[in-house]
Structure 1
Amino acid sequence: MTSTFTTAVGLLAHRDMGLQLPLCALKSAAGYYIGTVHDEHGPVSRESVEYFGTQQQAEEALASGRWTQRLSSGL
C-alpha cells in the first residue's frame, strides 16, 4: 500500500506568484500569522486573516485548521 503525504501550500503565494510554499507561522510587527516564506527572498505571503498573540497559537491554529484564509493579498 502506498501513502501520499501532502503539505498545505499558501493559496495566495501560489495564485499570485506561482510559488508552492508550505504554510508556517511567521512574525510581523502586528503579531504572528500564517503565511509563506521563500528560503532566498524571505516572507512571501500572509495567508491568514487573523493575527495571533504567540507563535504557539499560530502553529496550533495551522495544525487544527482553525484559521481563516485571506482571499486577497491587497490591504
Structure 2
Amino acid sequence: MSQQASFGQTFGQLASTYCGKFLPLEVLQSAAGHYIGTRDTEGPVSRESREYFRSYAAAQRALERGGWSQLAVP
C-alpha cells in the first residue's frame, strides 16, 4: 500500500530502509518514464514514487509540491 508523500520530504525512505543510504530525492528517468528516486555515484539506488511521470517538469513539480505517492516496498 502506498502513502502520500509528505510535503518537504527530501530523502529517500526506501534507500534508507533497504540500502542504509541517506540520499536526496531527485527526478530520474527510466524506459518507463520519469520518477522520483535516489541515486549515488554508481547510479540509481531506489525508485521512491509509485507514479511515473511523462516529463521531467511534471516529476519536478510533484517533488516540489508533495504531489506523489511513496512506494511502501521496493
Pairwise CA RMSD: 1.3
**Pairs within 5 Å for 1:48-59:** 48-59=49-60
Cα distance, 1:7 vs structure 2 = 6.8
Give the number of the structure with larger relative contact order, counting CA–CA contacts within 8 Å between residues 6 or more apart: 2
Distance in 1 separating the partners of 2:53 and 2:22: 24
TM (norm. structure 1) is: 0.86
| Count of aligned residue pairs for this structure pair | 67
TM (norm. structure 2) is: 0.87
- The list of structure 1 runs, each at least 4 consecutive aligned residues, that deviate by more than 4 angstroms after superposition, is none
Whose strand fraction is larger, Structure 1's or Structure 2's?
A: 2
Distance in 2 separating the partners of 1:61 and 1:26: 13
Seq. identity, %: 48
